[in-house]
């Protein structure tokens, strides 16, 4: 990719927007998960540990930024953004468990089960999933029950057995097996892509987008999700644990087929570039208002962690 001065301006604008929104998401998460005094205090601490103070907030940002295209009040979009960040945090807690990826490090800190023990980690993940749905059902999220139900449905479909969790199983069962490129694409569309796509879609649901614009947003989310995963594979193969804030080289160690193992690093990067360009084309109907989302597509591929 060439780096023109307009790209630099957009990247700068995105950086500011991401930083501000991350702070707003943090405040929203903090409000939605208040500390408690009772016997469940430790559970709440573990939930807060897993979801507060870290991460790129890519999913939460997507919700709010797409919602802003449709003039949705930001407080509402922040609730839905906080909900998807909780859902994402639950998946990371369970992913890191000894019975799963057995990972001691997450976002540069001990993973939740290293900090709180396995039992609390399992339950904190469970309760974060519940809370994600609870928030979508709250009146504060949207006055219309129809919209809240659409959000619940979309999140459930993106994260359950035919979405994220189904993808995790396919990923696990693919270890030490050769997968084809279409199989790897499907795996990641489920495991990571569906929740990223949901995040964009949730903004369109909140905004009561027309059928046509809704589809544009979904297409953007889908290409972004795949580009994100290819970039993740490239990072896993090339970056250090220090840069990543999590264990590096995991996929190779686990004998997994990845975009990098199938395409090589150069062609994987080219495919990511192609998807970024495609994602950006889906944003045409939104004009300048979508500049941050355009820059986000580029950021997702050129990030360092």
Among the listed residues 98, 108, 99, the one whose alpha carbon sits nearest the alpha carbon of residue 55: 108
By CB under 8 A, how many residues form the interface with its own copies? Answer: 54
Distance, CA of 145 to CA of 137 (rounded, Å): 8
Residues 6+ apart with CB under 8 A from 35: 41, 44, 45, 48
11 versus 97: smaller Cβ distance to its own copies? 97
| CB-side neighbour CA atoms (13 Å) of 167 | 22
- Letters for 28-67 (x = contact with its own copies by CB under 8 A, - = none) are ----------xxx-xxx--x--------------------
- Name the segment binding its own copies (CB under 8 A); options: 6-14, 60-68, 128-136, 250-258: 128-136
Residue 248's nearest CA partner among 93, 105, 91 is 105
CA 144 to CA 182: how far, in whole Å?
A: 39
Nearest to 82 by CA among 47, 57, 102: 57
**In which residue are the tokens 């639950």 written?**
90
Binders of its own copies among residues 140 to 179 (CB under 8 A) are 144-146, 148-149, 152-153, 156-157, 159-162, 165-170, 172-174
> Which of 20, 75, 118, 241 lies at the binding interface for its own copies (CB under 8 A)?
118
Binding mask 227-266 for its own copies (x = CB under 8 A): ----------------------------------------
Name the residue nearer to its own copies (CB basis): 95 or 273: 95
For residue 59, the minimal CB distance to its own copies (Å) is 16
- Separation of alpha carbons 168 and 4, rounded Å: 39
- Out of 12, 75, 130, 210, name the contact with its own copies by CB under 8 A: 130
Q: Does residue number 126 form part of the binding site for its own copies (CB under 8 A)? A: yes
CA pair distance 231, 298, nearest whole angstrom = 11
- C-beta closer to its own copies: residue 191 or 269: 191
Distance between CA atoms of residues 271 and 249, nearest Å: 21
For position 88 contacting its own copies by CB under 8 A, the verdict is: no
Burial class (CB in 10 A: 0-12, 13-18, 19+), 287: exposed
152: nearest Cα among 130, 167, 123, 168: 130
Cα separation, 192 vs 99, whole angstroms:
20
Segment near its own copies (CB under 8 A); pick from 13-21, 134-142, 201-209, 260-268: 134-142
Q: Which is nearer to its own copies, 155 or 260 (CB)?
A: 155
**Under rule CB under 8 A, residue 212 binds its own copies:** no
In the block, tokens 């939740």 appear at 112
Return residues touching its own copies (CB under 8 A).
Answer: 38-40, 42-44, 47, 90, 94, 97, 99-100, 117-120, 122-123, 125-127, 129-131, 133-134, 136-138, 144-146, 148-149, 152-153, 156-157, 159-162, 165-170, 172-174, 183, 187, 190
């Amino acid at each position: 990719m060439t780096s023109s001065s307009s790209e630099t301006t957009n990247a700068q604008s995105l950086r500011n927007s991401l930083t501000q929104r991350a702070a707003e998401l943090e405040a929203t998460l903090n409000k939605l998960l208040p500390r408690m005094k009772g016997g469940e205090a430790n559970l709440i601490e573990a939930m807060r540990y897993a979801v507060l103070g870290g991460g790129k907030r890519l999913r939460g940002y997507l919700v709010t930024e797409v919602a802003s295209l449709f003039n949705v009040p930001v407080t509402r979009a922040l609730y839905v953004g906080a909900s998807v960040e909780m859902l994402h945090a639950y998946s990371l807690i369970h992913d890191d468990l000894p019975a799963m990826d057995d990972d001691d490090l997450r976002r540069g800190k001990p993973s939740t089960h290293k900090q709180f023990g396995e039992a609390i980690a399992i339950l904190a993940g469970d309760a974060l999933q519940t809370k994600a749905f609870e928030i979508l059902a709250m009146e504060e999220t949207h006055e219309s029950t129809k919209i809240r139900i659409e959000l619940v449905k979309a999140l459930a479909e993106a994260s359950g057995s035919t979405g994220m969790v189904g993808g995790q199983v396919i990923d696990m069962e693919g270890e030490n097996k050769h997968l084809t490129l279409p199989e790897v694409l499907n795996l990641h569309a489920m495991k990571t892509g569906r929740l990223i796509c949901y995040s964009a879609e949730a903004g369109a649901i909140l905004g009561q987008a027309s059928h046509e614009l809704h589809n544009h947003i979904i297409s953007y989310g889908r290409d972004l999700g795949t580009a994100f995963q290819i970039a993740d594979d490239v990072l896993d193969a090339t970056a250090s644990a220090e840069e990543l804030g999590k264990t590096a080289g995991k996929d190779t160690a686990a004998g997994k087929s990845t975009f990098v193992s199938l395409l090589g690093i150069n062609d994987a990067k080219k495919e990511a570039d192609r998807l970024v360009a495609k994602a950006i084309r889906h944003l045409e109907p939104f004009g300048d208002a979508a500049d941050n989302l355009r820059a986000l597509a580029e950021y997702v591929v050129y990030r360092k962690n």
